[in-house]
A = this chain, B = another copy of it.
Amino acid sequence: MAFLRIGEVAKRFEVKADTLRFYEKNGLVKASARSESGYRLYNDADLSRLSFILRAKAVGFSLTEIQELLSIELDKANWACADVKGMVDNKLVEIEAKLAELNRFRQSLQSLSRACCGGPDSAEHCSILEALESQHVVS
């Protein structure tokens, strides 16, 4: 169980040290120890918590939502399984929706990419909007 200081952690996860302090201030990750001189020391558990946060952020969750998910972790004993399951299942629904939209978007861009000759000709006929309109679903 090696301890890392904030700069090292920042480098590994490609975030600013300031961001880590910001996360700590907002109750997202807290270095579980301090050196004699007050330096933050992160252990493996801290790092997986951070990893979770960054991954959740990458898929579009806000810090508030992430905190909510992590709060389950904080005092598991005071949550009923049903609560946890409900919460997680809600997030799953959101994720499914995002996944569907993302797939749709990908399809559109793929069909555009295929339609586009890719050569030096004018892109007169490469229309993103046209490509997307084929999948259009507005009232």
Contact = CB atoms under 8 A, between A and B. Distances in A.
A76 to B, nearest CB: 5
A12 interface: yes
A15 interface: no
A65 to B, nearest CB: 12
A115 to B, nearest CB: 9
Contacts of A139: 12
Contacts of A133: 48
A89 interface: yes
Given A55-B105, A80-B122, A84-B126, 8 more contacts: A56-B105, A59-B105, A72-B123, A81-B116, A81-B121, A82-B120, A88-B116, A102-B102
